[in-house]
Structure 1
């Protein structure tokens, strides 16, 4: 039986009226929330009781922050991280109270009242953000929660060492602020033999000792696999929850989470010399059987990602250029008539992982996930 004729799992509502129906969509993205829960359990099993948050930035790495948060909450997760204030506000509306939501990029100037109203915790990355949050707390006459991030060697976000020293010597710098965590971020955690990881850990220890005592957090997904010395009081996995391999060049310890399948829009036979796709970037050497699928760079499948699709275990290479809404496949390896209009071919799934697809595109699994567009019909399973 072909994929197209297999029974489909029940679809969960995702709260978006713009999500196309299965019949209307050109491709189907299946998201296994049960696999996300299993990945969370696998990570927690490595932590010896250390708390484990869930990173839901970029709408849960493109898979639906509200749905992922609901799944993780069933595993006891009650701390979430997003990147932007708008993401935090949307997540709070979706999941209600009862969980802490931290905003990794901090708050834009003047947006502090919105964060308070939504019950969000900023990650304070600078002395200016610290002052603004302190003044907000003073104006409201109450203590406000926050995390303090220090730059231990990535030069991206967080207070630089000189800034940490300055605020540490400032009387009343943290008045009215309930410091939930002091945190930093690892730059090379996916390279376990790099000395930079130990250097950052030592610098993190040095900087946090200057600040008020608070629980500490350093490890991201890959950082969890560096060992207990990097775990501290809270770890913050993101990509590993979604099935991306946190230990590159080793077997993936996580379960795959997504399956992406595209519909066949048309099949055809061409003869020798036929030009195929934009720019005739391929010319047939002999007779070929082709199929055009309803997926392209308009759906987030990168134009440079020359690769293949799969049907019943058979590899069907891309041929010609990726278009905005379509890709041409060479289906000559299949029996004549085996693939028909409306059948589904697999782009990501058992035959080709997220990391495989990323490798073909010259990128990383994170970018593949967060690029997946809104034109897919989304199915949630394992609820």
Structure 2
């Protein structure tokens, strides 16, 4: 080893990353426990689809499993295979169901397909008749018009005494399309439809509510709830304060520059400075999931005047100015004392000081998209629960 190598210590990648993400697994676990409490007598699962809403399937799954979660939902079979290594005796449901050729993967990893169409149901019947019993779940459409067996067909199936004995679902489920709007009468309509399904499949567990539905009350809980976005600190019901923030996204300031009144900022010259300004150029852009629609100006979809996003640095909210670009975003830091900010500092894009859903609304979207759209360049740090 040379003297040069001895003198230089290896930097912590997180401390020097252009963009970084802190995931508070303690807050994640607290949120799951709170949703379990709100689920009353129902058991609370955890939804880990889309790489745990962008925050890391392995780490989030491990934390929730160690906290006591034993029912999980993923979107695709590959997620289920990954999760099995971290949740050895959990029941893992695959929401996209099963396709021909995937039978061995489901059986070897003890995954439960959620059958969501007549074609999948017919295929699964043939699989279990050949290979023997294996748990499955049945999704029923109660008004979403997305996935699920039609209501009447599901009830007919429940009453069909000639169905194969090897077809033995362990769960029937449906999904609310307006659960985030508690005042919607359509929630009650779906509830009543699903009650018919649950009664038809007497003796089999049933599940209707994701995060939003849990807040609608005990009638909607049935046997198993499926909290998702609420676990990750996002809003699940319009106007309701979310649970603890879990993710904090930050971008490093590459440069702070002086800019004169009357000059323009970023592509298209869509923002003209109304005063002499200081601008912080941060190393995050739409390639990192910091959406172009968060731009301070020049976004056709926001022509009605909705303001752009803000960041948070040195105790101040600072606005995005001009268009967000692929790798860089410009913040106006004129009102931050010059002594309190310098190149190399980090601006919070969303997190405890910049609520996820506030930032999402500035982009004309929802917190789900902000989380699941996080780019690959984030250096991640996981903060584990105490004890």
Q: Match of 1:97, SS? A: coil
1:215, distance to aligned residue in structure 2 (A): 0.9
Quote the Cα distance in structure 2 between the aligned partners of 1:157 and 1:174: 23
* TM-score computed with the length of structure 1 as normaliser: 0.90
1:172, distance to aligned residue in structure 2 (A): 3.8
Alignment of 1:169-188 (within 5 A): 170-188=160-178
Once the two structures are superposed, residues 28-52 of structure 1 have per-residue CA deviations (whole angstroms, 9 ceiling, x without a partner) of 1100000011011111112333211
Quote the Cα distance in structure 2 between the aligned partners of 1:127 and 1:45: 36
Q: Is the 8 A contact 1:181 1:217 kept in 2?
A: yes
Matched, 1:50 2:39: no
Q: Match of 2:216, SS? A: coil
Q: Is the 8 A contact 1:221 1:239 kept in 2?
A: yes
Matched length:
361
Quote the Cα distance in structure 1 between the aligned partners of 2:117 and 2:39: 30
Structure 2 equivalent of residue 11 of structure 1: none
Larger fraction in helix: 2
Structure 2 equivalent of residue 376 of structure 1: 378
Q: Match of 2:340, SS? A: coil
1:101, distance to aligned residue in structure 2 (A): 0.7
Q: Is the 8 A contact 1:35 1:382 kept in 2?
A: no
Once the two structures are superposed, residues 232-287 of structure 1 have per-residue CA deviations (whole angstroms, 9 ceiling, x without a partner) of 110000000001122321333x1111111110001111113322101111122332
Of residues 80-89 and 156-165 in structure 1, the stretch that sits farther from structure 2 once superposed is 156-165
Alignment of 1:87-126 (within 5 A): 87-92=79-84, 94-95=85-86, 97-126=88-117
Structure 2 equivalent of residue 360 of structure 1: 362
Q: Match of 1:36, SS? A: helix
Of residues 105-114 and 366-375 in structure 1, the stretch that sits farther from structure 2 once superposed is 105-114
Q: Which has the higher contact order (CA 8 A, sep 6+)?
A: 1
Q: Is the 8 A contact 2:179 2:237 kept in 1?
A: no
Structure 2 equivalent of residue 9 of structure 1: none
Structure 1 equivalent of residue 259 of structure 2: 270
Q: Is the 8 A contact 1:245 1:355 kept in 2?
A: yes
Alignment of 1:202-351 (within 5 A): 202-211=192-201, 213-252=203-242, 254-305=243-294, 306-351=308-353
> Segments of 4+ in structure 1 off by > 6 A?
none
Matched, 1:151 2:141: yes
What is the aligned-residue RMSD (CA, Å)? 1.7
Quote the Cα distance in structure 1 between the aligned partners of 2:151 and 2:164: 17
1:166, distance to aligned residue in structure 2 (A): 4.8
Matched, 1:196 2:186: yes
Q: Is the 8 A contact 1:126 1:163 kept in 2?
A: no
Q: Match of 2:14, SS? A: coil
Quote the Cα distance in structure 2 between the aligned partners of 1:147 and 1:131: 14
Quote the Cα distance in structure 1 between the aligned partners of 2:28 and 2:121: 35
